[in-house]
Amino acid sequence: MATAPVVEESPSTHTGSIESWHALFKRYAAAKRKAQDYEATDYDPMRRAFMAQFPKWPSDLVSAAAEKWSREHGFDVVATRHDELVNAYAELGDELIKRPAPDEKAALWKFDFLFADFDENGFHTSNWSHEYCSQALVDIRRFLSAV
């Protein structure tokens, strides 16, 4: 039976500061809430109105009309702001994944984040590269090897 190789190169096996990891997690959670709130109050209603007008968009036949509607109703601005908010919390989440987990709770959050089938928006999330997951795998091995 083959076993998974132990990753000993670049990811850190040092835990780092519990306080700094949890402070970053709080920033991530706040940014995520802000993006979700904006999505619920601004983006989703505007997106539904847009999709009611242009259910087959994007097609070449309706794209000019869709772009005009988007500009006239402010959907382009709302969509841009939504993207900015989502990107802000995604960048913080990436930083959490790259940082060594300071404790078992942080390692478990990484495990759930990386290996859930779907996120809260219904997007499939299990296609992360090994490079992206490597620090989390080192963290999980570190905590489980103590068991």
Beta bridge partners of 122: none
Per the CB < 8 A criterion, the answer to whether 13 and 41 are in contact is no
Residue 125 has pLDDT above 90, yes or no: no
Mean pLDDT, all residues of the chain = 81
67-86 pLDDT tens trace: 899 999 999 999 999 999 99
Q: Which amino acid is at 110?
A: K
C-alpha span between 105 and 95 (Å, rounded): 16
Nearest to 39 by CA among 89, 5, 91: 89
The domain spans of the chain are 16-99, 102-147
pLDDT reported for residue 61:
60
Average pLDDT over residues 27-49: 95
Residue 35 has pLDDT above 80, yes or no: yes
CB atoms within 10 A of CB 23: 11
Residue 118 banded pLDDT, cuts 50, 70, 90: low
8-27 pLDDT tens trace: 444 555 556 889 999 999 99
Q: Can you give the pTM of this predicted structure?
A: 0.73
Helices 75-98 and 104-115, axial angle in degrees (round to 10): 130
Beta bridge partners of 118: 124
